[in-house]
Amino acid sequence: MPEIYDVIVIGAGPAGMTTSLYAARSNLKVLLLEQGAPGGQMNNTAEIENYPGFASIMGPELSLKMYEPLTKFGVESVYGIVQQIKINKDYKTVVTEDKTYIAKTIVIATGAIHKRLKVPGETEYTGRGVSYCAICDGAFFRDKKLIVVGGGDSAVEEAIFLTRFASQVTIIHRRNSLRAQKIIQNHAFANPKIKFLWHTTVEEIQGDERSVNQVRVKNKQNHTLSTISCRGVFIYIGVNPHSEPFLKLGITDQNGWIKTDAQMKTNIPGIFAIGDVREKTLRQITTAVGEGAIAAQQVYLYLQKTET
């Protein structure tokens, strides 16, 4: 007989790890299924300054601190890329690319993925100057000129981080003001290595056979085109939900965000969703952790009800 888990948590970001911890502490049999390193987007964040208990902490370090207690409480962690979820009367089956797992409940915590500019050169130069992770790739650009595309928290925070290595960082934003929190904006405006290019969009990323060497940009006000010399382009223009394996379940909105109630319940009994993959307005580590705790409690209550 295949092993049957009380809950399978899909995704090991802060939301998924919190659910796994709380569920395991409730003496539930937990499988944590992840297709990358534990921590999710936290691993792509250089410095976190708004997580309670830490004045400042590196994203990968916080990821490790969250993951460490899971083995102590018996959480089983495995690698797998989820293809689909199958539902029958009593159990849910999670199908990965090479294995299936069975559980009484499922918590989806797959997060979101970076949007792409969809301009010429972006795909061609990904990994050769185009990046979506400053903490992963920033050190490769020591004393180089870099471009950051975007105006939200992630874009500005990562631009600040990149000044540790780059000779200059230019933030390109299609509007005339940033969307990032004021305190983050103030840090950026005060940094002598950061320049701003307003009302501008990237039209093409250009380079040679080895790497990026410039971008072609367009001024949205006068529609003029120009080029900017650079060695790297870091793109932070928003995120899309990582929900493709679950679209056929009928639990998402028209944009792919999973719909839940305040208890993290989807419209399918026994399936919950938490973190950045949910339809919501605020996507932060703190909200992900809170949702993870709520989901674990709801899983426990659901199992109590269905098994009595």
Q: What single string gives the DSSP state of each residue in the chain?
A: ---EEEEEEE--SHHHHHHHHHHHHTT--EEEEESS-TTGGGGG-SEE-SSTT-SSEEHHHHHHHHHHHHHHTT-EEEE--EEEEEE-SS-EEEEESS-EEEEEEEEE---EEE-----TTTTTTBTTTEES-HHHHGGGGTT-EEEEE--SHHHHHHHHHHTTT-SEEEEE-SSSS--S-HHHHHHHHT-TTEEEE-SEEEEEEEE-SSSEEEEEEEETTT--EEEEE-SEEEE-S-EEE--GGGGGGT-B-TTSPBP--TT-B-SSTTEEE-GGGBS-S---HHHHHHHHHHHHHHHHHHHHHHT-
**Residue of 6, 90, 98, 133 with catalytic role:** 133
**Residue of 6, 137, 153, 276 with catalytic role:** 137
Identify whether 230 is a catalytic site residue.
Answer: no
Contact criterion met (CB below 8 Å) for 130 and 114 = no
**Residue of 90, 98, 136, 208 with catalytic role:** 136
Q: Supply the residues annotated as catalytic.
A: 133, 136-137
